[in-house]
Chain A
Amino acid sequence: MSRSVSLFVMVLMLASPALAQDKKSPPRQYGIGQVATPEQIAGWDIDVRPDGLGLPPGKGSVKDGEKLYVERCAACHGEFGESAGRWPQLAQGKGTLASHDPVKTVGSYFPYVSSVFDYVRRAMPFGDAQSLKDNELYAVTAYVLNLNDIVDDKFVLSKETWSQVKMPNRDGFYDDDRETSEKAFWNSKPCMKDCRPPVKITGHAAVIDVTPEDKTPRKGGVD
């Protein structure tokens, strides 16, 4: 390329910003919205990750947690985490996940302590969310772990002891694999005729009979 041509290209680029813009150009800034202050963020930033990122300062013992649990949690979750009525069961259920009646609890199913701590911090007690102090969060989490025999009676949960907790079902999950394990469901020519032997009814919802009453007069009946 001669020097003059190269100069011409440069001038063209400088003179027309539209041509100079390519995919790397920064997205438009609308100047709408304010910068969020650290104080504003701190008041709402309550999430906690499995690695402990987001944990507040503080600590709580199984012993302190037991007292709190009895006062604030047992009415719904049961004295031993067995559930009162239809509220979530928190303890037991070990070894049931492959059975016909799996019982998913903190001990049998939750993969991380953070999944418990983060949830209690944002949503519990039901109807009085975000009312527990940081030490109370640690204590009540420690007690629920203790109900599941994951930590002993003397355990104190804190940032420092966080990584000592080993959840029994931490390896119980795997990434969505439907596109490989269910590959057979992709089929460009589904069967249209005589696809199966004559069909029999094998179950009736009306026999199970758990549909709620809806008071609508049914305009059924054939004329």
Chain B
Amino acid sequence: MTDSNDEARTSRRRFLAGAAGLAAAGATGSALANDKNLPPNVADWSKHLGEGVAVRPYGHPSKFEKDVIRRDVQWLTASRESSVSFTPLHELDGIITPNGLCFERHHAGIAEIDPNDYRLIIHGLVDKPLIFTLDDLKRLPRVNRIYFLECAANTGMEWRGAQLNGCQYTHGMIHTVQYTGVPLKLLLEQAGVKPAGKWLLVEGGDASGLNRSLPLAKALDDCMIAYRQNGEMLRPEQGYPVRLVVPGWQGNIWVKWLRRIEVGDQPWYSREETSKYTDLMENGKARKFTFVMDAKSVITSPSPQMPVKHKGFQVISGLAWSGRGKVTRVDVSLDGGRNWRAARLDGPVLDKCCVRFYAEAEWNGEPWLLQSRAMDETGYVQPSKDDLRKIRGVNSIYHNNGIQTWALKASGEVENVEVG
């Protein structure tokens, strides 16, 4: 961790230097702008032809947005093939995550699968074991659904206190896209599940062969075999050509590069549901099969990577979600949870999906301790970190849905803090 610490310190120095410099420049009003493009002068782009059509056959963001990217935390893991990169939540608005910014979690790198060679086998306690090609799956009736996908370890580095300075790192193991695919129920009906069938083994085709046990009831309820995200085929990082969609449940069970579904009468207790993805409590015992993601929210702006630039009117923006259903309400606090006001939910409010919330306020340089608190249709209220720790201790790694606090300072800088 020593190297990373040095790197982080360098980063912080640059941040502070940059913030101070911009504060001074701010007084002149246009330090970042080039005067020759500003009125009354005519801007460069108003005089010359730009690139023609199809020069960018697959479009990409403006070159001025090159910092809006996934990032990783190198000290977290031993290798990039078994690691995670984080969605830049602070740079996004609305609820849909652009495909190229969806966080990644791989266990043996990205499998590059030729769609002609893709096969899905369904077997075990079924009347008729089946094998499907990708074309087969695309011929079946399909549905479109928007869901959030959150890694169970999202915010896992924060159990013992404020650690990573940015919502990309504290909360960025989540994304929301629209999936197109076949209801898993329909596929299972083609094979015919025998009465003894109660659990499914779902298995990936990557070099980790990631396998999890999925209760049949959930499979028949709302799971999907998805091959598209936001209209286009899945990205390789997201399991191209086929992944499992398990709405509201921890990301690890949304198996990517899905190659096999076996029906059985009991769970398998694979490494991923015993050694990992079990929640160790203070007494040394661990919860298992903690599939559902509890209601949670985070303010994405202002946040450490999105400091405040101006006094006066502020739009506080954030995301909220619940694995148990719809988000019904989000409250925002400016004083660390003493007093709350209801935020405005804007845009679609969908089942097991992220919602966007806004709260508007005047800021005149006083310190704020910004928090958000999500509630869902089951009546669950996102707990404070302290209330969560009272029950779970600090060793659980997974399922940290405690209320996040950002401290806004007079300088406009925002920091991840713990409050008590």
Are A and B interaction partners?
A: yes
Taking Cβ atoms with an 8 Å cutoff, the residues of A that contact B are: 27-30, 32-36, 40-41, 44-50, 76, 85-87, 97-98, 100, 102, 104, 106, 109-112, 114-116, 118-119, 122-123, 126-127, 129-130, 172-178, 181-182, 184-188, 190-206, 208-223
Q: How far does the alpha carbon of A208 sit from the alpha carbon of B201 in the complex, in Å?
A: 41
Chain A residue nearest to B410 in the complex (CB): A222
* Cβ contact within 8 Å between A36 and B163: no
Chain A residue nearest to B122 in the complex (CB): A36
* A-B interface pairs (CB < 8 A), number: 327
B contact residues, total (Cβ < 8 Å):
128
* Cβ contact within 8 Å between B383 and A85: no
Chain B residue nearest to A109 in the complex (CB): B275
Q: Which of B81, B260, B335 contacts A199 (CB 8 A)?
A: B335
Q: How far does the alpha carbon of A184 sit from the alpha carbon of B390 in the complex, in Å?
A: 12
* Cβ contact within 8 Å between B165 and A98: no
Please indicate which of the listed interface residues B141, B284, B382 has the most CB atoms of chain A within 10 Å of its own CB: B284
A205 with B417, Cβ < 8 A, contacts A47-B211, A199-B369 known: yes
A211 with B412, Cβ < 8 A, contacts A47-B270, A196-B337 known: no
Q: Which of B245-286 contact A (CB under 8 A)?
A: 259-260, 262, 264, 266, 268-271, 274-275, 278, 280, 282-286
CB neighbours of B12 from chain A (8 A): 206, 209, 211
B146 within 8 Å of A (CB atoms) = no
Chain A residue nearest to B260 in the complex (CB): A44
The smallest C-beta distance from B6 to any residue of chain A, in angstroms, reads 10
15 A-B pairs whose Cβ atoms sit less than 8 Å apart in the complex: A35-B130, A36-B122, A40-B131, A119-B270, A122-B208, A126-B108, A174-B287, A185-B387, A192-B339, A192-B341, A201-B417, A204-B415, A212-B169, A220-B308, A222-B308
* Cβ contact within 8 Å between A119 and B271: yes
The smallest C-beta distance from A222 to any residue of chain B, in angstroms, reads 4
* Cβ contact within 8 Å between A86 and B190: no
* Cβ contact within 8 Å between B305 and A214: yes
Given contacts A49-B269, A172-B284, A214-B305, 8 further A-B contacts (CB under 8 A): A49-B264, A119-B270, A123-B271, A130-B209, A185-B382, A199-B420, A205-B416, A206-B416
* Cβ contact within 8 Å between A211 and B22: no
B74 within 8 Å of A (CB atoms) = yes
B217 within 8 Å of A (CB atoms) = no
